[in-house]
Amino acid sequence: MNVINIDDKKYPQLLKKIGKDAPKQLYYKGAWDDDIFKNCLAVVGSRRLTSYGRQVTERLVTEIAALGITIVSGFMYGGDATAHKAAVKAGGRTIAVMPCGIERIHPEYQQDLYVEILNNNGLIISEYEGDQMPVNWMYPRRNRIVAGLSRATLVIEAGLKSGTLITANLAKKFGRKIFAVPGPITSEVSKGTSQLLKEGAALVTSAKDILDFFGVSGLRSLASKKEAKLPGGDIEQKIIEQLKRESMEIDALARSFNMPVSKISAILSIMQLRGLIRQEGSKYYLI
């Protein structure tokens, strides 16, 4: 069994700084090394993640993880899983903090994601050994590790009474930076982020806001690559510019460019294969 005790030199120093809240031991699976803990960003969001929240998470995490920032989250469905998946897809590293025994995959239907994290030099950690099932009080306890490992916490979406806000408040207690994404004022899962912004959280409108905090601005980002001339010609560039403004259905895109649906459908399929856009329902979104 792999375990690191709090008095071990390999124990994450940033986590140790949270004092009496620091777990006495961490059980783990995967690639434990100093580098994975150097620059960690906690990414948290609602379990009832909206399509807007998913799009924002994928866009921000893809760029941040690709530039060497470790993404830390809690492995639950919704915001956590989306953040882990985006980090893996970008070729970055991610740490999943479990609310259960280290031998248990929870939720179990995310076994593929669990394996992908480990296969991409990521880390699965827990303060509990064996295959212990999670109980309600373990989830907020888990959140202190997510916040404690990270120099900053990014909140995508959160209700006013949510585990996401618990993590953000713990991060504030530990003296860490809080970033929040603005959302529609009509959305229940934007009320928590709006509250954080009122309380002084840093507003996030692009990955650069976070990359600057970590001191990696100036490196060429994925976003700048997308803005470069695309090999498919001007139409792909125009589609990207259109989707930057708003998501659209294929019929609307065809009308915008005065093209047959069949032709623009082929172009959209190629763009999806390249990882430039994604389809959700009947609409296309920029990744």
Q: What is the mean pLDDT of each run of 10 residues along the chain (287 residues)?
A: 94 97 97 94 94 91 92 96 94 96 96 96 97 93 97 96 92 97 93 96 94 75 43 76 90 90 84 81 87
d(C-alpha 245, C-alpha 225), whole Å: 18
29 touches 120 (CB < 8 A): no
Name which CATH class applies to 3-214.
Answer: alpha beta
Where do the structural domains in the chain lie, given as residue ranges? 3-214, 229-286
Measure Cα distances from 131 to 101, 128, 143, 166, 207 in Å: 5, 8, 19, 25, 37
Closest CA to 42 of 136, 189, 142, 185: 142
CA 138 and chain centroid, separation: 21
For residue 223, the model assigns a pLDDT of: 43
The sheet carrying 248-249 orders its strands as: 248-249, 283-286, 277-280
d(C-alpha 251, C-alpha 260), whole Å: 9
Global pTM value:
0.79
Cis peptide before 182 (omega within 30 of 0): no
For residue 228, the model assigns a pLDDT of: 42
State the greatest distance between any 2 C-alpha atoms of the chain, in Å, as a whole number. 66
Fold of 229-286: Arc Repressor Mutant, subunit A (1.10.10)
